[in-house]
Chain A
Amino acid sequence: MDLFLQLTLAGLAIGSIYSCVALAVVMIYQATDHFNFAQGEMAMFSTYVAWTLVGLGAPVWLAFLLAVGISFLAGVVIERVIVKPVENAPVLNQIIVFIGLLVIFNAVAGWIWEFTIKPFPSLFPEDLGFKSTLIGPHHLGVIALTLGVLALVFAFFRFTRVGLAMRAAAANPDSARMVGVSVGWMLALGWGLAASIGAVGGILVAPIVYLEPNMMAGVLLYGFAGALLGGVSSPGGAVLGGLVVGVLENWVGQYVPGGSELKLTFALILIVGVLVFKPAGLFGRVVVRRV
């Protein structure tokens, strides 16, 4: 029973990181109808920025906050400079831009910081003042911090004027423009937010998977699986989907014979399964599009 609880809690912790990535992906998908394949690599890059700041002597929390802020600005700039010019280009061109971003971030990170793996410090102290055999301090901190961040993001969209305008711009850009919303800037803001949320995920996962330019490959795949499972049209669903995938991953690794080698395969099976049997995900709406 203890093992089961341990697995489940650790799964929730890693799942909440998938949730961050899933939410970032879904936010951009809702506004643009495209998956940002570079979301993971952007998060990886943000994590290196935090690592560099720590190396320069910044306390790890300060490095975290600065990296999240820098990621926001970088997200805005990427949208304005790279994504906006192709927004009316054919779909294939846009996908190639996203994949190009992925490759560039990966290569540049490898060039600056090399491909050797590096340890990354946890944001949370070893000693939380109490001991639990069920969950370690880093995992507990991850759950608390991600849930806090996600709650903030949802409150922002739900209760603020700009959050409402961002939802409106994503759902109905023409009408949004007609009420005076600057749709282009809302998109840029969305990219900034997504980059920040991704950075949170990257910095939290780095102490677990170690820092290296390919560290987000698996996380992004699980994040996609979570987003699809929850429904790409539903941010809340994506977050839940991420948590479910994290827990399932741990269960499969432990209880399915040979499961620990099959974890990534499991994510792929989940993605294909959802696409085939429930394309809208568990919480999404089926969108009928005129072609």
Chain B
Amino acid sequence: MGQIVLTKVRKAFGEVEVIPGIDLQINDGEFVVFVGPSGCGKSTLLRLIAGLEDISSGKIEIDGKDATDAPPGKRGLAMVFQSYALYPHMSVRKNIAFPLKMAGMSEAEQNARIENAARVLNLSNYLDRRPGQLSGGQRQRVAIGRAIVREPAAFLFDEPLSNLDAALRVVMRQEISELHQKLKTTMIYVTHDQVEAMTMADKIVVLHAGRVEQVGSPLELYNAPANLFVAGFIGSPKMNFITGPEAAKYQAHTIGVRPEHVEVSKDGDGWEGKILLAEHLGSDTFLKVACPVVGEMTVRGNGEMGLHHNDTIRLKPRADRIYRFDDKGLALK
């Protein structure tokens, strides 16, 4: 079991209110990702759930029991830190065994669980090494191993992959997703990497300045962002925002057009513009275009279009994919 319910959770460090009040429900078995810009309070929220930080007011329930004042070790949660936080003076085996030893588990049971975790994480050959003798990816696996042997109610990850290089990050991302499918345990995962958020999550929580902007599945957030912030944050490259008379044509204060929802042609309908920058990625070409009518736009073009700097082109947004927002930045239905 691993249901976590936050009610009016507030956190202030002295005078500074970092989280003004969050209500959030995380269901058993869900993979929930917290995303948001740097400093928005993702780590703080995770640490409040973990119990490493005391909440200023509000309530945290885990599996229906009030855990607001429970110490971290008594919440049944396991955490994987960005820095791995392995115990440097212990072998990999002892590192993984530590939470079991603290729980007073028998030696035989400990060993069975360690062997099992080592097999799942490909660590069997490294059990007698010290953390200092492992690569970054291996250390990350040990940290995950230390978390899974406890069979916790939920896993908490704070940017666990940000110290790894790009290639390894992709591998580990998939391993964590597979682990989730295998264990079916609740996971809360903090990242500011969009790709991680979109690919791994069942549910994304978008945070901004300590507030929840929107909660939903990756596709819900992509297809129906609740406001300008979410619209601009989810999706890469960023959505284009247009205000003024062009937006008024759609009865909106602002309209949003994603780069992938624009038809690019040399001489067709739409806004005329001049290419400022063309990035050829092979499959796609991203174009930065200066349009006199709507301002600067980023659009995705076909990979083989052969467009270059200073070419004049026309941009036509797909009518069914135009997002509309009112003057407060909220989405219009």
* A and B part of one assembly: no
Report A's interface with B, CB cutoff 8 A.
Answer: none
